[in-house]
Amino acid sequence: MFMYPIFITDDPDASVEIGSLPGQRRWGINKLEGFIGPLVSKGLESVILFGVPLSCPKDARGTLADDQNGPVILAIKKLRSLFPSLYIACDVCLCEYTDHGHCGVLHEDGTINTPPSVERIAEVAVSYAKAGAHCVAPSDMMDGRIKSIKRGLMDAGMGNKCLLMSYSAKFSSSLYGPFRDAAGSAPSFGDRKCYQLPPAARGLARRAIQRDAGEGADIIMVKPAMPYLDIISDAAELTPDHPIACYQVSGEFAMIHAGARAGVYDLKAMAFESTEGLVRAGATLILTYFTPDFLDWLS
Ligand SMILES: [Zn+2]
Structure confidence by residue, pLDDT tens digits, 175-188: 998 887 777 666 77
C-alpha 102 – ligand 1 centre gap (Å): 6
Specify the pLDDT at position 185.
66
Which active-site residues does the annotation give? 170, 223
The predicted model scores a pTM of: 0.95
C-alpha 126 – ligand 1 centre gap (Å): 17
**Residue 185 assigned as binding residue:** no
Specify the pLDDT at position 179.
81
Query: With 80 as the cut, is the pLDDT of residue 143 above it?
Result: yes
Name the residues around ion ligand 1, CB cutoff 5 A. Answer: 93, 95, 103
C-alpha 165 – ligand 1 centre gap (Å): 15
Structure confidence by residue, pLDDT tens digits, 211-244: 999 999 999 999 999 999 999 999 999 999 999 9
**Residue 246 assigned as binding residue:** no
DSSP-assigned beta bridge partners for residue 26: 7, 16
Q: Are 2 and 47 in contact (CB under 8 A)?
A: no
**Residue 80 assigned as binding residue:** no
H or E element, residue 222: strand 219-223
Query: With 70 as the cut, is the pLDDT of residue 267 above it?
Result: yes
Domains of the chain: 2-298 (3.20.20.70)
Q: CB 194: neighbour CB atoms within 10 A?
A: 11
- Residue 195: which pLDDT band, with cuts at 50, 70 and 90? confident
C-alpha 267 – ligand 1 centre gap (Å): 30
First and final C-alpha spacing in the chain = 14
Query: With 70 as the cut, is the pLDDT of residue 193 above it?
Result: no
Q: Are 64 and 58 in contact (CB under 8 A)?
A: yes
Structure confidence by residue, pLDDT tens digits, 106-117: 999 988 999 999
**Residue 228 assigned as binding residue:** no
